[in-house]
Amino acid sequence: MENITKWKILENYKTNQNIEFLERKQQSNQRIFKHLSHRVDYLNLKMSAIEVMFIMKARFDLLGLNGNRFGENVEKKCSFCSSNLIEDSFHLVGKCSKYRDLRMELLGKRELNEQEITDVLDGKKCSWKSLSQFIKKSLDIRKSLIG
């Protein structure tokens, strides 16, 4: 039952995505996603569909962050720290100072370098469960900051 739910999510995910949207994402996020492994196993683990969803969204950079917004005049930089960097999965998982304590608690370091971010998103540096929790909790924090 659990696995069926996961595959349904995957299927919905694929069919609901606008092709142009995905193409633009691929162009704008080359820096992260070309480095990620495609042989990851998080769909086969005993996690809830929601937990899997957080990992998937982070890996595809579909977390609804500033950097995921389209349009010439939208603010793509992070509004939650002073780094002046684009707010994308990469920034949220490894860099943003807003989530330092959470990162320390769940991913074992206050800040991650590019290789470490890739490893985390590939499930190599910490458990999938920890990554999923980190994504969920950081999005909760982000939401509370927006108000």
- Give the footprint of Zn ion on residues 77-96 (CB under 5 A): 78, 80-81, 96
Nearest to Zn ion of 103, 125 (CB atom)? 103
Task: Say how many residues make up the chain.
Answer: 147
Nearest to Zn ion of 98, 125 (CB atom)? 98
With 0-12 / 13-18 / 19 or more C-beta atoms within 10 angstroms meaning exposed / middle / buried, residue 57 is middle
CB of 77 to Zn ion, least distance (A): 8
- Give the footprint of Zn ion on residues 40-79 (CB under 5 A): 78
Size of the residue set binding Zn ion (CB under 5 A)? 4
Nearest to Zn ion of 16, 82 (CB atom)? 82
Nearest to Zn ion of 52, 120 (CB atom)? 120
**Separation of alpha carbons 98 and 56, rounded Å:** 22
CB of 78 to Zn ion, least distance (A): 3
CB of 65 to Zn ion, least distance (A): 9
Burial 27-50 (b: 16+ CB within 10 A, else e): ebbeebbeeeeeeeebeeeebeee
With 0-12 / 13-18 / 19 or more C-beta atoms within 10 angstroms meaning exposed / middle / buried, residue 64 is exposed
Residues of this chain that bind Zn ion (CB under 5 A) = 78, 80-81, 96
